[in-house]
């Protein structure tokens, strides 16, 4: 089966050949070049202005053949072009409805606003982590081959954020080009879902406190992070490389992850020593972040674990999964 676009190409080529052949035929039958072109166009288009001169029998036979072949080819080309337009529109409409249904079923997903360099890298990392991503951008040409459900629209309009499922999302990443747009996304997203996590990009230092006041949970300045990273490569290149491999590369079997302790967790009230986390799971707890946001680095075995704590741990995928099960609701008792 030929594609509609290929059919249109074949039809146009055949129509052009018939126009040339008709013109040449009429010239050979005694028409001038202009009359031959006019007669060919009139015959193929079936306009029928009337004969400009009397036709011989051979000319009539040639005209009949030209009508049958030319009109058929013209109809074939027209219907192929119409099919191409309708099919392209229908394909886009079906694709849009399919994505809308997919987005409507999502909960706890990540909405990435802005498909620039920052947005692409964020989506790439989230995809590798197995998170569902919806991409929003006002430039339709950027969304041609994103690989994630997309929403084309202006993020400064609430309808666009609703279409991306922001009220049901777990996180919104505001990675737009201007701080003003990121500020609007932060305010609008928080108004739709107060418990939503918002991570905003800031281009200038003066915008960071404004984004925090607007409700952003985290504000990231890519320029500052890039500068810090370059400086770290100067002073501690091996440490930076190790962190990159553990966090992003995936070539090592070890991972660095955060494990949340739920209120129903059997770890609650236990110390690191009495819980025997390393013996039971093999994972190593490098730090504990308390509910008030403070960190306890290199925690001692006697430190108590409380609900709401986040265990910054390193280990293999299986070890971290075992630790996550212990920290979650419904795990077995740690007697």
- Whether the per-residue pLDDT at 333 is higher than 70: the answer is no
Q: What is the pLDDT of residues 275-292, one digit of tens each?
A: 888 788 888 898 999 988
**pLDDT interval class at 43 (50, 70, 90):** confident
| Mean pLDDT, range 225-239, rounded to an integer | 87
**Statement: residue 180 has pLDDT above 90:** yes
Residue 330 pLDDT > 70: no
> Residues 6 or more apart from 201 whose CB is under 8 A from it?
114, 118, 173, 174, 175, 176, 182, 219, 220, 221, 222
Residue labelled with tokens 């030209």: 66
The whole-model pTM stands at 0.61
pLDDT higher than 60, residue 194:
yes
- How far is residue 18's CA from residue 40's CA, in Å, rounded to a whole number? 9
Residue 170, pLDDT score: 94
Confidence of residue 207 (pLDDT cuts 50, 70, 90): very high
Top pLDDT among 87 and 102 is at 102
Is pLDDT above 90 for 51?
A: no
Q: Higher model confidence: residue 208 or residue 275?
A: 208
> What's the whole-number mean pLDDT along residues 214-233?
90
Percent of the chain with pLDDT over 70: 89
**DSSP-derived secondary structure for 148-187:** S-EEES-TTSHHHHHHTTGGG-SEEEE--SSHHHHHHHHH
The pLDDT value given to residue 202: 93
Domains of the chain from N-terminus onward: 4-101 (1.10.287.70), 110-220 (3.40.50.720), 253-327 (3.30.70.1450)
Tokens 């337009």 belong to which residue? 85
More confident residue, 150 or 254: 150
Question: Which residue, among 240, 189, 233, 237, has the nearest Cα to 211 in the 3D structure?
Answer: 189
63 in helix, strand or coil?
A: helix
Q: Mind listing the pLDDT tens digit for each residue in 104-125?
A: 999 999 999 999 889 999 999 8
Q: Mean of the per-residue pLDDT values for the chain?
A: 84
**pLDDT grade, residue 3 (50/70/90)?**
low
Check residues 209 and 276 and name the one with the higher pLDDT: 209
Instruction: Look at residue 64 and tell me whether its pLDDT is greater than 90.
Output: no
């Amino acid at each position: 089966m030929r594609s509609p676009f290929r059919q249109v190409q074949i039809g146009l080529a055949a129509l052009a050949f018939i126009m040339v052949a008709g013109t040449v035929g009429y010239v050979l039958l005694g028409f001038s070049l202009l009359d031959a072109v006019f007669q060919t166009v009139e015959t193929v288009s079936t306009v029928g202005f009337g004969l400009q001169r009397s036709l011989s029998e051979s000319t009539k036979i040639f005209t009949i053949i030209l009508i049958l072949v030319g009109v058929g080819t013209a109809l074939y080309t027209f219907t192929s072009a119409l099919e191409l337009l309708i099919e392209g529109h229908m394909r886009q409409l079906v694709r849009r409805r399919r994505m809308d249904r997919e987005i409507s079923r999502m909960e706890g997903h990540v909405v990435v606003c802005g498909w620039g360099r920052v947005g692409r890298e964020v989506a790439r990392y989230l995809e590798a982590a197995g998170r569902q991503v919806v991409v929003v951008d006002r430039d339709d040409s950027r969304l041609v081959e994103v690989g994630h459900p997309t929403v084309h629209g202006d993020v400064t309009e609430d309808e666009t954020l609703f279409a991306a499922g922001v009220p049901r999302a777990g996180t919104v990443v505001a990675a737009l080009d201007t701080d003003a747009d990121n500020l609007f996304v932060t305010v609008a997203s928080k108004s739709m879902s107060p418990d939503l996590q918002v991570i905003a990009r800031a281009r200038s230092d003066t915008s960071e406190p404004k984004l925090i006041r607007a409700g952003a949970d985290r504000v990231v300045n890519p320029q500052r992070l890039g500068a810090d990273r370059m400086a770290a490569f100067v002073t501690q290149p091996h440490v930076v490389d190790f962190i990159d491999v553990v966090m992003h590369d995936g070539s090592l079997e070890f991972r660095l992850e955060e494990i949340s302790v739920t209120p129903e967790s059997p770890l609650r009230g236990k110390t690191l020593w009495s819980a025997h986390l390393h013996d039971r799971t093999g994972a190593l707890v490098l730090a504990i972040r308390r509910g008030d946001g403070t960190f306890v680095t290199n925690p001692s075995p006697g430190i108590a674990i409380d609900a709401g704590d986040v265990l910054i741990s390193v280990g293999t995928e299986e070890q971290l999964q075992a630790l996550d099960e212990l920290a979650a609701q419904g795990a077995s008792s740690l007697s």
